[in-house]
Chains A and B, each alone.
Chain A
Amino acid sequence: MRRLAQSFLAVAFGLALGLSATWIAGENPWEVLKILARGAFGSRENIGMTLFYTTPLIFTGLSVAVAFQAGLFNVGAEGQLNLGALAAAAIGALLPGLGWPMAPLLASLAALAAGTVWGAIPGWLRARRGSHEVIVTIMLNFVAVGLSTYVALYVLKNPESQNPETRPIGLAYMIPRLGVFGDAPVSAALPLALLVAAIVWVFLRRTALGYELRAVGQSEPAARAAGIDATKMRILAMAIAGGLAGLVGVAEVLGNAGKFKVEFSPQYGFIGIAVALLGRNEPIGIVAAALLFGALHQGTRELDFSTEHITSEVSLVFQGLIILAVSAEPVTNWFRSKPRINTDEL
């Protein structure tokens, strides 16, 4: 509960700071808050767009969190999700004859597998060779983006378009849309994300393997002393993290675009780090944090329409301030006027 309260306080603090920034920019902060809320939840379509942006953030938030739980920092979700999306689109482009439901199933598995492999590489390098996973995942992001761009442009190029993207996949590949949200591209990927969050929770909290994984994260020497294969656990954690990020491909390719578009992700992988941080690496917290960041991303678009001075980039300011407030726990603790040393984090 205390950690939940801390996160809540951090969000409030970040929002307050952000709103004061809009005041400096010449807007009425109360109006800005109302516009934000209306933009994110004001109509069926707006709610839909919020949920549309929430879905990939759940996947990337979980991805970062699972690695965190094993004491690893996955900065590579951006690359993993790019390859996941590319794999899903490639299956669709190469096997146009496949029917429903085999088609989306196979494409989803491809997205999962591509992400898993891309996550396992830094996991293996860390566990066996001692290469720091932060450096490796950052570098692999560049490789993944380059690789997926190459495939999209030279192997599976869409001849109909000037945009850098792959050929469209068949209709049989598309997963159903949730029609209640008007034109917003909310698909079955949203319930899938919630289901995956539940599975991750069960895995981490209710299985022996999940326990071992967390034990490695808490203290590697202690875990080793207890007979846990920390090397294996590290590789496993990064593989799972990669697979989770790869599932963004299901939401983007099978649920929305119907193809892989180069640069489709507005930094879902990096926002996922903030989501995991704010959600305290717990699946339920991550879902809530993903919703918050999804709402910010969508809501700030409305600011563009309804204010004179603020553009959608202000969402980055809000995100930054919230992240700052989350990571600057001494500040929130100071607000509780009870300084204390934090021992139960990460």
Chain B
Amino acid sequence: MRVSRKLFALLVLFAACLSPSTAADFKVGLVLDRGGKDDKSFNSSAYEGANLAKSKLGIYLKYVEAADDNAFEPSLRAFAQRDFDLIIGIGFAQKEAVKKVASQFPQKHFAIVDSEVNVPNVRSLMFQEHEGAFLVGAIAAMTSKTGKVGFVGGMDIPLIRRFEMGYTAGAKRINPQVEVLANFVGVTSEAWNNPPKGKELALSQYDRGADVIFAAAGASGLGVFDAAEQKQKFAIGVDANQDWTKPGLILTSMLKRVDEAVFSTIEEAKAGKFSGGVKRFGLANNGVGYSFDQYNAKILSETVRQRADELKAEIMNGKIEVPDYYKLNR
């Protein structure tokens, strides 16, 4: 025991020398969904946005990953009790927890992604996923030679149905005769992380004649990309720009800028301009869109892009109304 005590004393000293100084005065707490910060999709995007704020704005950032659903509420509360200025919950699973904790700490600022919480000190960051999906649907139909396009969704929930509905509408806008093959990976959160199933579904859709498949399935989408490689056909990415993952095969990615939403919320809160309520991210403020970079420059032709940008303008000025699953299924 005596030896270990000395060792501990040494370690305390060691740690004291290493402990970082926390000079930043604006503190942001991030409670990630169960996927965790390395899911290379939704949570990663949120974490990147917050990390950007850390380097650009000099905030103090702390993130936690929830081990189970019952951990959301105490995690949010722990941040509030520790004098964090802004607490952000990532994902609709935290809706009830954010609602409860925000009501208990009316002086604190909260934000939640993908869910509406009607408490004055909460900002709900909502995305117009259907608008972005409409554009990639149109791009898919313009690129398809078979007149058949595919959709592989992750978990079968209204959020992903919203992607599907927008995608179908976009494809039909270009080619009313287009056939959209749609499948979902699963019905539980496991569906976000099942690449083999995503691949199976995609292979089956390619075999049935689809030559472009939109994967809105989190990490399961990586399986769809594998199928695209195997069949040498096109796939479309989601959330983050995934064009680089299989250059020449990922036609484009439907961007959902969770990172932007998180960053701008932190920026405004730090400047003292935080406001509650619903903040929507759509085509108009580049919250959603499609990607174009060096990795898909050769496969996404200029004419296709021009037409997509025309459609984008028509959605923004109200000439096209994209069907919204949330509104149609209330």
Contacts and interface: CB of A to CB of B under 8 A. Distances in A.
B64 to A, nearest CB: 4
A257 B96 CA distance: 11
Contact of B8 (A30, A149, A161, A163): A30
A49 B68 contact: no
B188 A263 contact: yes
B118 interface: no
Interface centre among B70, B73, B93, B155 (most CB of A within 10 A): B70
A266 B225 CA distance: 31
B309 interface: no
B106 interface: no
B188 A164 contact: yes
Given A183-B77, A308-B20, A30 B69 contact: no
Given A163-B93, A305-B78, A266 B67 contact: yes
A305 B188 contact: no
Contacts of B20: 308
A31 B157 contact: no
Interface in A246-285: 256-257, 261-266
Contacts of A45: 74, 77
Given A52-B70, A305-B78, A153 B64 contact: no
A184 B188 CA distance: 27
Interface in B13-71: 14-15, 18, 20, 62, 64-71
A301 B71 contact: yes
Contact of B67 (A26, A185, A257, A312): A312
B24 to A, nearest CB: 14
A305 B63 CA distance: 8
A185 B70 contact: yes
B11 A29 contact: yes
Nearest to A52: B70
Contacts of A30: 8, 11-12
A164 B155 CA distance: 10
A210 B158 CA distance: 51
B82 interface: yes
A31 B157 CA distance: 43
A156 B78 CA distance: 33
A164 B12 contact: no
Interface string A15-32: 000000001001111110
A311 B65 CA distance: 7
A162 interface: yes
A315 interface: yes
Contact of B64 (A256, A257, A261, A312): A312
Nearest to B15: A28
B64 A304 contact: yes
A304 B12 CA distance: 19
Nearest to B5: A30
B8 A256 contact: no
A154 to B, nearest CB: 9
A234 interface: no
B56 to A, nearest CB: 21
Contact of A162 (B67, B104, B157, B188): B157
Given A162-B157, A262-B188, A305-B82, A31 B12 contact: yes
B31 to A, nearest CB: 10
Contacts of A308: 20
A297 interface: yes
Contacts of B74: 45, 49, 183-184, 301
Contacts of B8: 28-30
A153 B188 CA distance: 9
Contacts of A261: 69
Given A31-B15, A263-B189, A162 B92 contact: yes
B75 interface: yes
Nearest to A261: B69
Contacts of B187: 149, 153, 164
Contacts of A183: 73-74, 77, 104
Contacts of B73: 183
Contact of B65 (A49, A185, A302, A304): A304
B159 interface: yes
Given A163-B93, A305-B78, A149 B67 contact: no
19 contacts: A23-B11, A26-B18, A28-B12, A31-B15, A52-B70, A162-B159, A163-B92, A164-B155, A164-B189, A184-B74, A185-B70, A263-B190, A301-B78, A304-B64, A304-B65, A305-B79, A311-B64, A312-B71, A313-B67
Given A263-B69, A305-B78, 7 more contacts: A28-B12, A28-B15, A29-B8, A45-B77, A263-B188, A304-B64, A305-B64
Q: Which 10 A-B pairs have the closest CB atoms?
A: A28-B15, A266-B68, A304-B64, A30-B8, A162-B157, A28-B11, A312-B67, A162-B92, A153-B187, A262-B188
